[in-house]
Amino acid sequence: MGKKQKILIIGASGQLGAELTQGLWNLYGKENVIATDIKEPNGILTTGNFEILDVLKQKPLFEFIRKNEFTQIYHLAAILSATGEKNPKFAWHLNMDGLVHVLDAAIEFKIEKVYWPSSIAVFGPTTPKENTPQDTIMDPTTIYGISKQAGERWCAWYHSKYGLDVRSLRYPGLIGYKSKPGGGTTDYAVDIFLKH
């Protein structure tokens, strides 16, 4: 049997986190997963381990990771596309500095696996629309897309420089019914039900 896994989820109260947390409970056991966010969770997440944690506050973040001896981190905290356009500098700050804090912590505390979602927002209007290749013209036009493209390169750099096992998928628009929309381009689909 492998080493016992202890999992940290950052940004767990959002659309992805609400679903992912329950999936990780099922895989690793509720007692081995700690969901964190700057926002209190609602619904089923209140039944598991939850702590308030701000990924931008490096010292408390590092202390929390050290104390809990995590083996995996799922880093979901970000400003999404539509909100990012309203406050581009803050979107850059959260999306980049938050990620780099997590990657640095992963090196310092020898975290086995880091997961950080990217987005199809890394592509832009000049990207081939049919059968879009993995490696192609990207040219993102939103701050969110630019931050996701740069984030992918940061992850690749930590892998090549330090051998960190950090993985990512480029998701399309994802929505969930367990938390309110977080400011992405597909929010309207959930807003229709919540506001009308």
Ligand X SMILES: NC(=O)c1ccc[n+]([C@@H]2O[C@H](COP(=O)([O-])OP(=O)(O)OC[C@H]3O[C@@H](n4cnc5c(N)ncnc54)[C@H](O)[C@@H]3O)[C@@H](O)[C@H]2O)c1
Contacting residues toward ligand X, per CB under 6 A: 10-11, 13-17, 37-39, 54-56, 76-78, 80, 94, 117, 119, 171, 173-174, 179, 182-184, 186
Q: 3-class SS at 50?
A: strand
Residue carrying the six token digits 């999992």: 7
State the minimum distance, in angstroms, from the CB of residue 1 to ligand X: 31
Number of H helices, E strands in the chain: 7, 8
Residues in the chain: 196
What angle (nearest 5°) sits at the alpha carbon of residue 23, between those of residues 144 and 111? 70
Nearer to ligand X, 1 or 169 (CB): 169
| 135 to 1, 122, 123, 128: CA distances (angstroms) | 37, 11, 10, 11
Candidate list 28, 74, 115, 144, residue with the active-site label = 144
State the minimum distance, in angstroms, from the CB of residue 80 to ligand X: 5
- Where would I find the beta strands (DSSP E) of 146-191? 166-167, 170-171
Nearer to ligand X, 79 or 164 (CB): 79
State the minimum distance, in angstroms, from the CB of residue 173 to ligand X: 4
State the minimum distance, in angstroms, from the CB of residue 10 to ligand X: 5
Nearer to ligand X, 6 or 39 (CB): 39
Nearby residues of 69 by Cβ (< 8 Å), 6 or more positions away: 6, 109
Q: Is 144 a catalytic residue?
A: yes
Nearer to ligand X, 79 or 111 (CB): 79
Q: Identify the CA nearest to 138 among candidates 149, 152, 130, 147.
A: 149
| Number of Cβ within a 10 Å radius of residue 93 | 14
Q: Which residues are catalytic?
A: 144
